[in-house]
Structure 1
Amino acid sequence: MSIKNSRTKINGEIRYESVRVIGTNGEQLGIMSSREAQLLARENGVDLVEIAGNANPPVVRI
């Protein structure tokens, strides 16, 4: 029996080529690289959080 780690990925733990980004107010910011999304979150003083890692592309929220 395997136990799946359900810990939420944040910031630098998110390493996908591209992600769909949701803004702080729930608005769609579009698809961008993980690096761009991390920089955007940092510029806004918030964390980047994975919402749906199994989606294509994965969904993250600032």
Structure 2
Amino acid sequence: MTLEQARKIELNRVLLTCNQDNHGSARVIQKNNGKFASEGLLASNNKVIYRYWIDLGK
């Protein structure tokens, strides 16, 4: 539903993140054409996160 809302407000692409150990979320993002961009450390909880871009196109 998030991607549908992003399209409604005419975003061209969105950045989604998930925790490194959240394999289910990573699979859902990837199945929706999420392209891995980077990983980083979330200082607030000392966890590694993955960042994915999804191009919504026009």
TM-based fold match above 0.5: no
TM range (shorter): 0.3 to 0.5
Give the strand-richer structure, 1 or 2: 2
Give the helix-richer structure, 1 or 2: 2
Q: Which has the higher contact order (CA 8 A, sep 6+)?
A: 2
Q: TM-score, normalised by structure 1?
A: 0.33
